[in-house]
Structure 1
Amino acid sequence: MKTHVKALVVGGGAVGVSIAYHLAKAGWKDVMLVERDELTAGSTWHAAGLLPLFNMNYASNFIHKYSVDFYKTLEEETGLNPGFHIVGNLRMAQTQERMDEYMLYSSVAETTGVYHEFLSPKEMKDRWPLMNCEDLVGALFHPQDGYINPADVTQAMAKGARQRGVTIERRIQVDAYRWTGSEWIVSVTRMIEKGGMLVPSEEKYEIHAEHVVTATGNHAQRTARLLGIKSPAIPVEHQYIVTEPDPALVKWREEGNPEHPVLRDSDALWYVREERGGWILGPYEKNAPARFAYGCPDSFRADLFPLDLERIEEEYMSFIHRLPSVEHVGLKDDFNGPICYTPDGNPLVGPAPGLRNMWLAEGFSFGITAAGGTGYYLAQLMTEGEAEIDMSSLDPKRYSKDITTEYTIKKNEECYEHVFICHHPDEERPAARPFKTTPNYDAQKAMGAQFGQVNGWERPNYYGPKDAPEGFDHDSRSFRHGGWWQYARAEAEAIRSTVGIIDATAFAKHVVKGAGATAFLDQFTCNKLPKVGRINLTYALTVKGTVRTEYTIVRLAEDEYYLVSAGAWETYDEDFLLKSVEDFLAAGGAPVEVKAVTNQWGVFALAGPNARALLAELVRDANPETVLSNKRFPWLSYRDIELGMAPVRAVRVAYTGELGWELHFPIEMSRYLWNLIWSVGEKHGLKGVGARAQNWLRQEKSYRAFGNELGRDATPLEAGLDRFVDLGKDFLGKQAMLDTGVRSKCVTVLIDGPEDSDPWGKEALFVDGEKVGRLTSGGYSAAFGKQIGMGYVRPDLAEPGTKLKVKMQMKEWDALVTEDSPFDPQNARIRIDG
């Protein structure tokens, strides 16, 4: 067995084998894969093999599409048939709301080139007469996917990997990982079989690897423990049953008719496909339990759990309703095995937190579908530094360091039972909440705040009526205007007309200081550093010159900086910051200290025309009448002030584009400062404002958001952020950014759309029927009285006045490219003096 390799892949399921294959295809030599049992011995062997081509997550959609296309090439390359049945995938809808979801699916599918069709109940019945279509509204049909044999496709990829020089070793268990500073030393043991169990032999090795990838499936918790990290990948039981042959189906096929597509009755919570003249039924029922929360037992191999038929009785009856011919067909087989999940259902793909050259590919609930594409895009990350698509939504560090086992269990079980629910863009899932709250959570709740969560923090989405009118449902979700919409609009109007307060405590916050702090940040970010007492918006780039992180930098002293970034990406940002400091120090840089202070500082954003007057009543200063003036406190500066008894780090900036301040203060003073502001707020028209109104307001100012307009697939120049890039200095990713050029441009559009709907930031943009771009954000503009959105188009279409079309609800609506910051483009309201 090899003991020195370029890359070691741990795990021989479909995902691990694909990664090994694609690393070799990308040109890496000396790639080895080890598997503690046999290839496909984990969840791969009992997977149903479905290939749902489409996924609402943008990165996952590309991953699934690549997989489907790639699997179709394997037989020609390897001579092995992967068992791909291209029968299509039929997503049925029992309600108009479900069709609304599919119309949004359609828009996203068009942005990624996924072909699809819409079918009426009659068209379905004509094609597949065994189906009961009477209660269906319609369906979305993907004719190019279907299902595949998981073992066959894995073995085909394994043969392709071997042909490209990959070494595959079975019955090798990893016992320890040790990083030397330049390579990983992986301690392994050869496993032998005794009495049907795998046990360690006396044969032990140390494998030296420059890179390690873990794709350990149900063993993800053991892997995390060996690496000293936390992982939210915990399996949940998934059961499916196989029927005896259905005489009606057998007759249908004997008459020369085609195989049925994979049927998905999302409203009934199941999928069905043909299997040897019978059917496979796979439900996603409620109350499926998580398993192996602390690690998969060594004795668990290609094993299953007992079937729980009572748990899926309702789904089984709906299966009979949809396919009446199965009523008297018996059950032939059943499977109930572990499928790994994460709290949001997306896998963990990318660098491990805090570790060098350690890559995770864990938590795949749709592993067969994702395997091919994961191997392709992860290989790009590893060999080129970045993938051609933004993979941040799958990054393992998107989760807070605060997650615990119980939290993960609750969220993963919830995620399982949400597979087939309507995925409203405004949905907020209730499990494991509240988890992290600010000291004024109860006060906000008493005011009617309806919360969402970001990075575990409870954050007001909007403030509804304290005493909701009869019939009003705060949990009302919709693909059109939800129950919250009218309240968000009122909040947006208040920011523009009086003053609003936004709890922004969830912002990620770090202090960077030390003799090398200035030199480090200067090469780490692309903008000029601010002077002491001033602030700047800047970006840290990837090695490909795209946007890795957005920071607001407050310069507290010559060698001390306060960095604020997106709350949802705290761990993601911190890991990149710390690793970049390590690189700086290794290159001989002067000492730099990084301290995470998110949990120490609360943040209120106060914005609106009356913001200065309100704060003037509370500020304690020798000259209170001038302390908030432009002369003493100009835009884009910060001052330490006192509001009542509270010491406050006040920053003259507003994400809403109005006169305003961000008030940063010791978090233990949250309740005091909240009450103090409200004690004088009423006379100034103060209104509580949530995240949804803020999202609309920032689009009126064309403020880019990380994870939307900003990401690892676009440079700052493509994002239209030229004014925040100092080409007179050297910084990470500068040359790559320049070499990339401008492939597309970020624009803001005003839309004359439907009266009952706004774009969600997932829609395709067209000119004369040709797709020319996509939205990355969407919402409603109270200032303009119409829909608004931001997105990317071809550079030649980015000029203000360009007429586009945006597709919503299967119709194309007029969209006009505006100038950047269509509301108050001169920023006069932000700079207004008083």
Structure 2
Amino acid sequence: MKTHVKALIVGGGAIGTSIAYHLAKFGWDDVVLLERDELTSGSTWHAAGLLPLFNMSYAVTHIHDYSVKFYKTLEEETGLNAGFSVVGNLRMAQSDARMDEYRVYASTAETVGVPFEWLTPAQIKERWPLVNCDDLKGAIYHPTDGYINPADVTMAMARGARQRGVTIERKWQADAYHWTGEAWEVTLTKMVEKGGNLVPSEEQIVVTAEHVVTATGNHAQRTARLLGIKTPAIPVEHQFIVTEPDPALVEYRKAGNPEHPVLRDADAKWYVREERGGWILGPYELNAPARFEYGVPDSFRADLFPLDLERIEEEYMSMIHRIPSSETVGLKDDFNGPICYTPDGNPLVGPAPGLRNMWLAEGFSFGITAAGGTGHYMAQMMVEGEAEIDMASLDPKRFGSWITTEYSARKNEEAYSHVYVLHHPDEEREACRPLRTAPSYDRLKARGAQFGVVNGFERANYYGPVGAPADFDHDARSFRRGGWWEYAVDEAKAVREGVGLIDASAFTKHTVKGPGATAFLDWFTCNKLPKVGRINLTYALTPEGTTRTEYTIVRLGEDSYYLVSAGALTDYDGDYLRKCAEDKAPEFGYIAVEDVTTQWGVFAIAGPKSRDVLKEVVKDAEPETALSNKRFPWLSQRDIELGMCPVRAIRVAYTGELGWELHHPIEMQNYLFDLLEDAGKKHGMKLVGVRAQNWLRQEKSYRAFGNELGRDATPLEADLPRFVDQSKDFQGKDAMNALGVRVKCVTLLIDGPEDADPWGAEVLFDGDTRVGRLTSGGYSVAFGKSIGMGYVSPEKAEVGQKLKVRILGALWDAEVVEDSPYDPKNEVIRVDG
């Protein structure tokens, strides 16, 4: 056993072996992989080995696509057959809504280049006559994927890793991690067989590693405790059954017909594939329980749980309906094993919170599909600094430190049961809600607020009718313009024509203070720092020059700053900010970083009448001029008093109208809400949700982090040179300039369908050539048509460029327009009064 290594990978399943392989492929020649038992002895061994390319996530689609392509190369490189059966994947639909889901998904697939075909029920029946197509609307078919043998592909990657110099050690368990300030000291214990169990021996060694990767699967909770962090990765039971040979299938294959593709009846919540003349049925049923919330028992090795056939009876009967010949076949085998999940169903891939050189690859519910791509992009992050795609949506820190075991277990059960639930872009899941609420939650709810969740916080998406008829469905979802659409239109018009009030309390907020704060933030961000009492929009870059975080920086004093960023990724932003501040403190001086997100509530008031509302309640010696351009100019901050509430007011509006953000002590929120609501009545003030706000910000071409802004593009590619001060040195500057402008962010007005708008994942064409993709989409009340933002090749970014965008399967005309098509000169936002 080596005792000093470049990278130590803990976990010998498909994920761990792939990371080991790819680290070696990227040039690290001192890599060791550990497995506490035998390779593949975790969830890998009982996985069904399916390789579904279908995914709504841009990042995950890239990961799955890489895996499918990579697995096909392994035998040539290693000499081991990975057991890849390229039979295709047929995803069937029983409803028009399901076909809409497939059309929305197909846009994401098209942006990545994943091939697919559309099939009618008649075409399905012609190809696969054993399938009952009477109640189908159609299907989407992926010809390039299928299924693979999990053990074989893992062993092939392990051999490939060994051929590239990786050392693989079995029967060693990681029992302690200690960071020395320069490297990790990992205490390993030799595991031995005793009475059929695997138990620790007295033999221990300490391995020093520059980097550690944990890919511990079902043992993620134990790993988190050893590291002193929290993780939501908790397993859920997954059952699948194998039938005896089906005589009809046997005859079908004897006649020379090819193997059926993997069949997925999403509306019936199952997958089915052939297995030795019979069928494998894998359901995703309701009420599958979470397991091992506090760790895997030492006695549990390559074990299974008892089968619960009653729980999957509905899915079993629906398989018989879809494949009538299966009704008479018996059960041959069954599996019920733990599969790790996270609350949103996506894995945790990236740096661990608060730790240096500690990397997590945990929470994989589709681990075989994701293993190859995860290894590739994780190795890119570790070796090159960043992956070529934005991995923020999979970052472990997207779940904050507020999560608990109970929350994770219940949300993971929900995520499991939702694998085949319609994934509407406006989907909002109900488990564990409400949990994090601002004080005004009950008031907003009483006024019709329909909430979504961001980082656990309840946030109003829109305001439906109060006292609605009994048949009004607030929870109605659609891939087109849902029931909420008309209310969002009214809210957006209110901001453009009158005044609207938005609860923005979920914003992330940090203070940065101390003698080193100014020098640090000047290096940390790419724009000029504001003067005291002013604000600036700026970006923190990665060392590789791409956008890591967007900040509104408020300068409270010479060395005192208030930073506001996106609400979805509080711990993600805070972890990076703190780590960078710690690194630079020896150079710049002491820097204090504090997360004050839950200390400050925020109301955003915006619209032509917003100043009139605030004048009603502002307490000042000269209230008529307190909010004037002279005393309170655009892009400035003032401490004001609204009634009895002290407010840190910022003159900025994400909607592009005259407006203010009113940051206030959270304990005074209800008082301030009542004050503003009462003052706004005579001005017709309307409560506004984030969906309308999202449309409005696109009319101003305001980029959003996680959409237009991310770790796969620079601020220059986002077409934001006005926020980049090239006269100063800042982190990532040289790398940003070296990258140049590979793509460019544009705003487009779209002549789309009458009943739908883009969601922000659609592909853009110039003729038959794919030239880019949307990253945001919606409806513009200012222009009366659909709007979107996205990235295109630079030569297609000129104003007036005519393109096509695919919305729900059809191509629609789109035109590149000037940045900030609504009020391009920012006249209304700076209006005096």
User: Normalised by the shorter chain, which TM-score bucket?
Assistant: over 0.9
* Contact kept in structure 2, 1:234 and 1:412, CA below 8 Å: yes
User: Residue in 2 aligned with 1:634?
Assistant: 633
* Contact kept in structure 2, 1:31 and 1:167, CA below 8 Å: yes
CA distance in 2, matches of 1:12, 1:617: 66
Deviations 1:136-188 (A, max 9, x none): 00000000000000000000000000000000000000100000000000000
The aligned runs of 1:642-681 (5 Å cut-off) are 642-681=641-680
Alignment of 1:4 with 2:7, yes or no, is: no
The aligned runs of 1:416-495 (5 Å cut-off) are 416-495=416-495
Give the match's secondary structure for 1:242: strand
Q: Report the alpha carbon displacement of residue 410 of structure 1 after superposing the two structures with TM.
A: 1.1
Q: Report the alpha carbon displacement of residue 475 of structure 1 after superposing the two structures with TM.
A: 0.2
Q: Report the alpha carbon displacement of residue 483 of structure 1 after superposing the two structures with TM.
A: 0.7
Q: Report the alpha carbon displacement of residue 469 of structure 1 after superposing the two structures with TM.
A: 2.8
Q: Report the alpha carbon displacement of residue 55 of structure 1 after superposing the two structures with TM.
A: 1.4
Deviations 1:670-728 (A, max 9, x none): 00000000111111110000000000000000000000000000000000110000000
CA distance in 2, matches of 1:578, 1:408: 26
Q: Report the alpha carbon displacement of residue 515 of structure 1 after superposing the two structures with TM.
A: 0.4
User: Residue in 2 aligned with 1:48?
Assistant: 48
User: Residue in 1 aligned with 2:593?
Assistant: 594
The aligned runs of 1:446-595 (5 Å cut-off) are 446-586=446-586, 588-595=587-594
User: Residue in 2 aligned with 1:360?
Assistant: 360
Q: Report the alpha carbon displacement of residue 271 of structure 1 after superposing the two structures with TM.
A: 0.2
Q: Report the alpha carbon displacement of residue 544 of structure 1 after superposing the two structures with TM.
A: 1.2
Q: Report the alpha carbon displacement of residue 810 of structure 1 after superposing the two structures with TM.
A: 1.3
Alignment of 1:696 with 2:695, yes or no, is: yes
Deviations 1:47-69 (A, max 9, x none): 00000123111111000000000
User: Residue in 2 aligned with 1:683?
Assistant: 682
The code of the aligned residue for 1:12 comes to G
Give the match's secondary structure for 1:64: helix
The code of the aligned residue for 1:552 comes to T
Deviations 1:370-406 (A, max 9, x none): 0000000000000000000000000000112100011
CA distance in 2, matches of 1:785, 1:469: 29
Deviations 1:629-676 (A, max 9, x none): 000000000000000000000000000000000000100000000000
Alignment of 1:309 with 2:341, yes or no, is: no
Give the match's secondary structure for 1:623: coil
The aligned runs of 1:65-84 (5 Å cut-off) are 65-84=65-84
Alignment of 1:325 with 2:325, yes or no, is: yes
The code of the aligned residue for 1:561 comes to Y
Give the match's secondary structure for 2:818: coil
User: Residue in 1 aligned with 2:788?
Assistant: 789
* Contact kept in structure 2, 1:54 and 1:65, CA below 8 Å: no
Deviations 1:423-452 (A, max 9, x none): 000010000000100111000000000000
User: Residue in 1 aligned with 2:24?
Assistant: 24
Q: Report the alpha carbon displacement of residue 468 of structure 1 after superposing the two structures with TM.
A: 1.2
Q: Report the alpha carbon displacement of residue 346 of structure 1 after superposing the two structures with TM.
A: 0.3
Q: Report the alpha carbon displacement of residue 589 of structure 1 after superposing the two structures with TM.
A: 2.1
CA distance in 2, matches of 1:555, 1:157: 52
CA distance in 2, matches of 1:201, 1:642: 67
User: Residue in 2 aligned with 1:759?
Assistant: 758
User: Residue in 2 aligned with 1:804?
Assistant: 803
* Contact kept in structure 2, 1:54 and 1:114, CA below 8 Å: no
Deviations 1:731-760 (A, max 9, x none): 000000000000010000000000000000
CA distance in 1, matches of 2:790, 2:692: 19
Give the match's secondary structure for 2:760: coil
CA distance in 2, matches of 1:406, 1:501: 34
The aligned runs of 1:148-297 (5 Å cut-off) are 148-297=148-297
Alignment of 1:384 with 2:384, yes or no, is: yes
Deviations 1:495-547 (A, max 9, x none): 00110000000000000000000000000000000000000000000111000
Q: Report the alpha carbon displacement of residue 470 of structure 1 after superposing the two structures with TM.
A: 4.2
Give the match's secondary structure for 1:383: helix
User: Residue in 2 aligned with 1:824?
Assistant: 823
Give the match's secondary structure for 2:69: helix
The code of the aligned residue for 2:250 comes to V
Alignment of 1:780 with 2:743, yes or no, is: no
CA distance in 2, matches of 1:51, 1:614: 56
User: Residue in 2 aligned with 1:412?
Assistant: 412
CA distance in 2, matches of 1:463, 1:593: 39
Give the match's secondary structure for 1:97: helix
User: Residue in 1 aligned with 2:140?
Assistant: 140
Give the match's secondary structure for 1:22: helix
User: Residue in 1 aligned with 2:397?
Assistant: 397
CA distance in 2, matches of 1:263, 1:407: 33
Deviations 1:544-582 (A, max 9, x none): 100000000000000000000000010000000000011
Deviations 1:18-56 (A, max 9, x none): 000000010001100000000000000000000012311
CA distance in 2, matches of 1:130, 1:373: 34
Give the match's secondary structure for 2:812: strand
CA distance in 1, matches of 2:447, 2:690: 15
Give the match's secondary structure for 2:204: strand
The code of the aligned residue for 2:742 comes to R
CA distance in 2, matches of 1:472, 1:790: 32
Give the match's secondary structure for 1:50: coil
TM norm structure 2:
1.00
User: Residue in 2 aligned with 1:61?
Assistant: 61
Q: Report the alpha carbon displacement of residue 243 of structure 1 after superposing the two structures with TM.
A: 0.1
* Contact kept in structure 2, 1:349 and 1:361, CA below 8 Å: yes
Give the match's secondary structure for 1:526: coil
* Contact kept in structure 2, 1:85 and 1:146, CA below 8 Å: yes
CA distance in 1, matches of 2:612, 2:259: 71
CA distance in 1, matches of 2:577, 2:299: 41
Give the match's secondary structure for 2:328: coil
Superposed CA RMSD: 0.5
- Unmatched segments (≥5 aa) in structure 1: none
CA distance in 1, matches of 2:596, 2:828: 32
CA distance in 1, matches of 2:639, 2:443: 26
The code of the aligned residue for 1:38 comes to E
Give the match's secondary structure for 1:789: strand
CA distance in 2, matches of 1:550, 1:53: 31
User: Residue in 1 aligned with 2:728?
Assistant: 729
Deviations 1:192-243 (A, max 9, x none): 1011111111211000000000000000000000000000000000000000
Deviations 1:608-646 (A, max 9, x none): 000001100100001111110000000000000000000
The code of the aligned residue for 2:551 comes to Y
